[in-house]
């Protein structure tokens, strides 16, 4: 089962288009958005204050000798437009919980969950000439919201040339994915990939923007 987004939800959501939409017929707009990576909520913990270090390795902070707690992972992929053309120069603004499930955010007051002073927590990376990106981070912890347990995820806002997509990336084979009806073959779910470096778990997640 693919993740299906209804036309009504796409229209009601009003997401994704910064430029260009007025030039394209409405049916074409909807068609492109149906083929694109689905949007998801921004969530409450978008990083308003960040470490100065926002590079692609979230496991290390400039000036720290220790590194982040938790199992490392590599994540890589390609950002493409709706017909498969890579989007160079797209920016991926990402943020995630630490290994304990806590965010580096003043609004995350779950003090029973430890902060990790060596975890970068967020990053901004740009796709290369072939539309490729790569980050190294830790596998985020699972956390609850009220009685609900959220599946493991990483938040993204991705800016292409004519699209802005806010979404969340999930992990394959996680039983908590069922809590939000996220199937392993959804465009929101990364795929396991051969390790790029030693024994670090690697995932591939490609992104499709509706307008590139
Ligand atoms: Fe989250």
The pTM score is: 0.88
pLDDT at 1: 43
pLDDT-based confidence at residue 12 (cuts at 50, 70, 90): very low
Tell me, in angstroms, the distance from the centre of ligand 1 to residue 153's CA: 6
160/163 Cα distance (integer angstroms): 5
Tell me, in angstroms, the distance from the centre of ligand 1 to residue 1's CA: 24
Q: DSSP of 93-132, one letter per residue?
A: EEE---TTS--SSTT---TTSPP-TT---EEEEE--TTSE
Determine which helix (DSSP H) or strand (DSSP E) holds 76, and give its type and residue range: strand 72-81
The mean pLDDT of 121-135, rounded to a whole number, is 98
pLDDT at 3: 47
Tell me, in angstroms, the distance from the centre of ligand 1 to residue 181's CA: 16
Q: Which CATH number fits domain 7-209: 2.40.40.20, 2.60.40.10, 2.60.130.10, 3.20.20.70?
A: 2.60.130.10
Tell me, in angstroms, the distance from the centre of ligand 1 to residue 132's CA: 24
Q: Please, what sign has the CA dihedral across residues 90, 132, 5, 7?
A: positive
Tell me, in angstroms, the distance from the centre of ligand 1 to residue 180's CA: 13
Q: CB-based contacts of 160: which residues, under 8 Å, 6+ apart?
A: 79, 81, 87, 90, 209, 211, 212
Tell me, in angstroms, the distance from the centre of ligand 1 to residue 86's CA: 27
pLDDT at 30: 85
Q: What is the pLDDT of residues 39-58, one digit of tens each?
A: 999 999 999 889 899 999 99
The mean pLDDT of 88-93, rounded to a whole number, is 98
Tell me, in angstroms, the distance from the centre of ligand 1 to residue 6's CA: 23
The full set of domain ranges for the chain reads 7-209
pLDDT at 16: 53
142/26 Cα distance (integer angstroms): 39
């Amino acid at each position: 089962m693919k993740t299906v987004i209804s036309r009504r939800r796409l229209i009601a959501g009003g997401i994704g288009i910064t430029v260009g939409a007025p030039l394209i017929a409405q049916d074409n707009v909807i068609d492109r958005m149906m083929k694109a990576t689905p949007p998801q909520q921004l969530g409450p913990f978008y990083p308003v204050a960040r470490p100065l270090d926002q590079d692609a390795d979230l496991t290390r902070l400039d000036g720290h000798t220790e590194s982040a707690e938790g199992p490392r992972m590599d994540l890589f992929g390609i950002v493409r437009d709706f017909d498969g053309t890579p989007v160079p120069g797209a920016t991926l603004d990402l943020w995630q919980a630490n290994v304990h499930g806590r965010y580096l955010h003043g609004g995350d007051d779950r003090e029973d969950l430890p902060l990790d002073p060596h975890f970068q927590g967020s990053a901004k990376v740009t796709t290369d000439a072939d539309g490729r990106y790569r980050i190294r981070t830790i596998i985020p912890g699972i956390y609850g919201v009220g009685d609900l347990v959220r599946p493991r995820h990483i938040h993204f806002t991705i800016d292409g040339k004519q699209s802005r997509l806010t979404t969340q990336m999930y992990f394959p084979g996680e039983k908590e994915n069922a809590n939000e009806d996220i199937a392993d073959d959804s465009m929101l779910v990364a795929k396991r990939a051969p390790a790029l470096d030693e024994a670090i778990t690697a995932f591939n997640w490609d992104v499709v923007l509706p307008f590139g």
